[in-house]
Amino acid sequence: MSSSVSLLIDIGNTRLKWAYLSRGRLQNCSAVLHRQIALQTYASDAWGSRQPAQIIVCNVAGENIAKQLSHWSQQHWGITPRFILAAERGYGVVNAYAEPRRLGSDRWVALIAARQIIKQPACIVDCGSALTIDAINSNGEHLGGLIVPGIAMMQRSLGHDTANLSPPHLNQPAHNNRGFQLGRDTDDAINEGIYQAHSALIERTLEELSHTLGSNAVNIITGGDAPAILSRLSYLCRHEPEWILQGLATIATRAEHTP
């Protein structure tokens, strides 16, 4: 085992994703649905046979899973994971938040990836448990962002807070299903409404940011629901399923002062 190998872990609210970084390339990208599952039940199968030199983590799922990961990695390898937190500036990115640590670590890592990999103005759309949109200009300045409930969260809220509606089966549209359509039963009406709400917000934001960021801006879309949303967008977006892991790879291989 090469001492240069890093284990990169992206812990979202629903999925835990990981990859090994070796010789500058991501290897063995995998994922597990981790909600309400103890980390030790899958950690040994996932990582136990390959000890890394370091573990770099982006975690938005809370302290409990962070403690579980730290305990497991220290017990098995004697390694303390490095948990990435947003800062005022770093890796060429200037944080827009007045309280920098309040920016989610996933959004911070995504901005770092944009700055270091694309090196152009960018808009990053992450379609996960929450839908987040962030913009970064050509100087590496984060312009701020938007957060709304994700598709499944919107669906659950209708079932929870509305007396005559129960959460429908979430039918993801075919990837070539573009444009506007109306649902012909309650489930379809809810699903279509949610997808239309998300795609409309994204398109409005991309339209507004196109004037601010300029014609060379790159639109990145990532997250588990990205394929279903992407099929409804008229704007050109670059689908990057492993964007957070790519950002962690950037952190693992570049100095923090990198412009």
User: Which residues are tagged catalytic?
Assistant: 106
What are the backbone angles phi and psi of residue 96, rounded to the nearest 5°? -80, -15
Q: Could you give the CA distance from residue 195 to residue 173 in angstroms, rounded to a whole number? A: 9
Note whether 96 and 140 are within 8 A (CB).
no
Q: Which residues, listed in sequence order, are joined to residue 148 by a DSSP beta bridge?
A: 131
Note whether 172 and 228 are within 8 A (CB).
yes
Q: Could you give the CA distance from residue 180 to residue 203 in angstroms, rounded to a whole number? A: 13
Torsion of CA 13, 183, 133, 99, to 10 degrees: -60
Note whether 52 and 26 are within 8 A (CB).
no
15-22 vs 25-33, strand pairing mode:
antiparallel
Would you state the structure tokens that stand for residue 175, as one six-digit string?
A: 């990837």
